[in-house]
Each structure stands twice: as structure tokens, then as C-alpha cells.
Amino acid sequence: AQSVSQHNHHVILSEAASLELGCNYSYGGTVNLFWYVQYPGQHLQLLLKYFSGDPLVKGIKGFEAEFIKSKFSFNLRKPSVQWSDTAEYFCAVHDYKLSFGAGTTVTVRA
Amino acid sequence: SQTIHQWPATLVQPVGSPLSLECTVEGTSNPNLYWYRQAAGRGLQLLFYSVGIGQISSEVPQNLSASRPQDRQFILSSKKLLLSDSGFYLCAWSVLPGGEQYFGPGTRLTVT
């Protein structure tokens, strides 16, 4: 099974700052890639996904992620965060099952 | 639209007692169903998945079992709980294996 590494455990930002969360997985082959988000008090929900095609994918709420196959990476970005982006973010990789990273808590200060 | 329900939301059980957590999905047929456990700082760990009634695959050998008695019902059970079974249990469903998964609200289990 894949091992999924998220580079940061906790990120603290001010509003309007840019956000980048790193995600690497352990080995190649055909994979589907996901970022999930859990806002305080809410269900885990899909932020964006990559199955094939353009390696730059756009998701909800202004988020995007770039798949770099040679680096086994799928990093999440947002150019300008808002207070409402405070949440926990999970990277996940599917080969024969869905494997999650440990999550990154993002705190945006107003 | 599809919805997923889990109950109970929270549960406190003594060591050695049985467990039954239920998950139901509405608004779709023949979903793929999943049970995960989420530990603080460790992400989600897949415990069981099911592609159809009576079809259960176990990912992690442990004190738990799963059953799917109906198309949209998925049950997580234990005959005797251990302290290590404490955690946050999430149920999820997908249309296709490998596709995006939709998660329920979770059950917080504390074994005392």
C-alpha cells in the first residue's frame, strides 16, 4: 500500500497569504490523487481530485493542485487564503485502496 | 441527492463489551462502502471495504469485523472491545472503486 507523506503538521497563516501544502506518495504506477478537507464541525469532503490529463487541477474555493509524476507529488495551493480556509487538509492516494496522509491543520488568522 | 448516516455519534463502552456501529447510505444503489478509523495526527486508516451485499474485505487484522446485510447498510462490530479500539470511526461510500469517496459524520468511540 502507498505511504503518503504530508510535509507540515500545522501551518499558521494570515489572511491573504499564499498557501502551499506538500504531499508525496511512496511509489509510482497508476494512481488517483485527492485532497480532502475537514472544516471545524463538518464532514470530511472532497476538495479536488486528479485521475488523468492536465496535471494542474482546480478544485472548489480557489484551490488547485499540481501532479508531478516524476516526484510522486501532489501539492495543494491557494494564492490568497481566507479565515474560512481554517481546516484540516488530507492528501490521499488510490492504487488498489485509498491511503491517507496524516493531515495538515491550517489556521488562518484574520 | 445522496446522504450518508452514521450512529451513534458518540459512544462510551467498557473494555470487553460488544460494539455495533451502523452506517446507511440513501439515494444510490450498489455503492462501494468503507470503514475507516481516524487517529489524531495519523490520518485515516482503511479497516474494511465492501463492493456488494455479503462481500467484505479486511485491510487490517484486528479485533473488529464488518458486515453488509443490505445494499446500503454497513455495520462495524466487535465481540469484545479493547482499549486500543478507541478512536473516531468514519464510514464512506463511492460509486466506483478508486473514485471519490463521500464520508459520513463519524462516531467517536471511547473504550474505558
Greatest Cα pair distance in chain A:
42
Residue B33 to residue B25: CA distance in whole angstroms: 9
Reference B65, options B54, B79, B84, B83; nearest CA is: B79
Q: Do A100 and B101 touch (CB under 8 A)?
A: no
pLDDT in tens, chain A (110 residues): 789 999 889 999 999 999 999 999 998 788 999 999 999 989 899 999 999 999 999 999 999 999 999 999 999 999 999 999 999 999 999 988 899 999 999 999 98
Please name the residue of chain B whose CA is at the shortest distance from the CA of residue A49.
Answer: B100
- CB-closest option in A4, A98, A99 to B101: A98
Interface probe with B: pick from A6, A35, A37, A43, most Cβ of B within 10 Å: A43
CB hemisphere CA count around A55 (13 angstroms): 11
Using the Cβ of B88 and the Cβ atoms of chain A, whether some distance falls under 8 Å is answered with no
Q: Are A47 and A64 in contact (CB under 8 A)?
A: no
